[in-house]
Structure 1
């Protein structure tokens, strides 16, 4: 029972982070686009909308357990991109906190890798996705 509770709490935390990030984007898309433009990325409004939709999909996957492992892998790649794009070495000079933000993204990436390998748990999960289809629990004859 403790394992089930821990997995569900972890899924809620992952979901909550992406719901919060998505909400900020949807509530103030121009600011998000401005932040993206400030990082020097092209098409900031398109990227802002793409990020909001992508993050909403991640939140849905973490909440439901559907395509959980795939979502965790994609989220991990995404946060490493964010680390370099918005908090990378070019931001460290004169602002030591940026290095801390950069490192925090790798900690989150580690959690995403762990989640991808272990899956959404056995309770309250749709269990759809490649891991459930081709994983060790199923033998392909």
Structure 2
């Protein structure tokens, strides 16, 4: 029982973080686009919309368990991209807190990688996907 509860809480945390990120983007798309433009990326408004919908898709995957491992891996790539693009070494000299933000992304990556390997659990999960087939490395969830 405690294993199931822990997995469901972790899924809710992942979903909650990406839901908040998407909500902030949808609520202030122009501000998000300006932040993306300030980082030097082309087509900032398009990228802001794509990021918001991608985060929304991650929320659905984490809540339902469908394509869970794939979503966790893609989220990991996304999180590390964000770390380097918006909090990487070029930002550290101007604001030392940026180094902390950068490192936090790797902590998040660790959780996402663990989730990708172990899957969505057996409760409240659609077991659709290409990677996770219902067994963890130890053979049980």
SS in 2 for 1:123: coil
- Give the corresponding residue for 2:82: 82
Q: TM-score, with normalisation over the residues of structure 1? A: 0.93
Question: Counterparts of 1:132 and 1:39 in 2: how far apart (Å)?
Answer: 35
Which runs of 5 or more residues in structure 1 are unaligned? none
Q: 1:90 to 1:111 in 2, by over 3 A?
A: same
- Give the corresponding residue for 1:36: 36
- Give the corresponding residue for 1:125: 125
- Give the corresponding residue for 1:92: 92
Q: RMSD in angstroms over aligned alpha carbons?
A: 1.5
| Number of residue equivalences | 137
Q: TM-score, with normalisation over the residues of structure 2? A: 0.93
Question: Counterparts of 1:106 and 1:136 in 2: how far apart (Å)?
Answer: 22
SS in 2 for 1:52: helix
Q: Deviations over 1:43-76 (max 9, x none)?
A: 0000000000000000000000000000000000
